[in-house]
Chain A
């Protein structure tokens, strides 16, 4: 069995990488032909960029997760994929029909159903300095909320070129490290498959982006993160690794005071001058993570992307440390 895990951890991520890498260029052409493009608002000439590129990640992960299940028949893999697909479909509908700022988070709660009906959760998560907790009543309520939070958080912070791969790749790497230390080796192939797919996609999504992830891809990746946290019992690790996401969501919602759609915000938090990004001086503009970063000084878009990556690496390192603290 261990040899199967090793082989699955080597070959399936390779397949995932190649599948995403080869699927994305035809998808870019298809989206451009269909007029599914987005405006790159952080570039001086506002170029049109192909949208919904995250579909390449979804397709390659469906293929590789099924292959993984055939190699290591663990229903946990299928459950994680199913959760991601439910939230991904919500994102796809949002890409096509624009669901609005209130309906979208509500619909993503549905992502928790597969985990709840199969009882694939353990209501005793370990916290720092508290190895055993008893959240028997609270935990099932938190399952759909957790999926909705992770999927919407990933979508909310996809504001610059390469944001989602740069912010999530360190999280998946930290989860691989924690899996090794915790002996949760069954999680490793799944984590590496997602990591490889995101890495391949980054090649097209990095500054200057040839394709945007789209809501479908963002919600899918966020749903996967939430499902992995619950099913493989990485709740606290994912929570800490996602601190930049949580901070962004919390600050934006606190400063705006309600659920909203990005398009509804008239007072933009960030202003483009030439090729530099400045924080808005408007009192009514939401406090976003990017505005917070820029409040220490203006930056170019690719520099903001670098800061995102460094912050995610730092919070992922803290997540590994937190994982050790849960054993004290």
Chain B
């Protein structure tokens, strides 16, 4: 059970760090967006915000999938 807990706590910490970094970046962009006068900058900022969100999700999923697959491989070797 210890191994399961350590693995999951590691994933929670990774998720939390990603959340802190990306939510800060996205909220900063959205907040500065409200101050923009030019529509071109507003559109560019919105696109950048959405792109950052997509990058966040991709990194998050990629890291989880990598460690999950690695664990599953080890599991197969040990239990089958």
Residues of A within 8 A of B (CB): 127-130, 132-136, 138, 236, 239-240, 243-244, 246-247, 250-251, 254, 278-279, 281, 287, 291-299, 303, 306-307, 310-311, 314-315, 318, 322, 325
Contacts and interface: CB of A to CB of B under 8 A. Distances in A.
A239 B23 CA distance: 11
Nearest to A315: B12
Contact of A292 (B8, B16, B23, B30): B8
Given A127-B24, A133-B30, A318-B16, A310 B61 contact: no
Interface string B35-79: 000000000000000000000010011001100100110011001
Q: Is the interface of A mostly helix, strand, loop or mixed?
A: helix
A258 B80 CA distance: 32
B27 A287 contact: no
19 contacts: A127-B24, A130-B27, A134-B34, A135-B27, A135-B31, A136-B34, A243-B15, A243-B19, A247-B64, A250-B60, A278-B79, A287-B64, A293-B4, A296-B4, A297-B3, A318-B12, A318-B16, A322-B20, A325-B20
Contacts of A307: 1, 4-5, 8
Interface of B: 1, 3-9, 11-13, 15-16, 19-20, 23-24, 27-28, 30-31, 34, 57, 60-61, 64-65, 68, 71-72, 75-76, 79-80
Contacts of B8: 292-293, 296, 307, 311
A35 to B, nearest CB: 37
A292 B27 CA distance: 30
Contacts of A239: 19
B9 to A, nearest CB: 6
Given A130-B31, A243-B16, A322-B20, 16 more contacts: A130-B27, A134-B31, A136-B34, A251-B61, A287-B64, A292-B64, A295-B71, A296-B7, A296-B71, A298-B79, A299-B1, A307-B4, A307-B8, A310-B5, A311-B8, A318-B13
A295 to B, nearest CB: 4
A178 to B, nearest CB: 16
A128 to B, nearest CB: 5
A292 B66 CA distance: 11
A311 B76 CA distance: 25
A297 B3 CA distance: 7
B39 to A, nearest CB: 14
A130 B13 CA distance: 20
Given A133-B27, A135-B30, A287-B64, A247 B1 contact: no
B4 A133 contact: no
B12 A129 contact: no
Nearest to A298: B79
B24 A129 contact: yes
Nearest to A292: B68
Contacts of B3: 296-297
A116 to B, nearest CB: 19
Contacts of B34: 134, 136
B12 A297 contact: no
B9 A251 contact: no
Contacts of A130: 24, 27-28, 31
Contacts of B65: 287
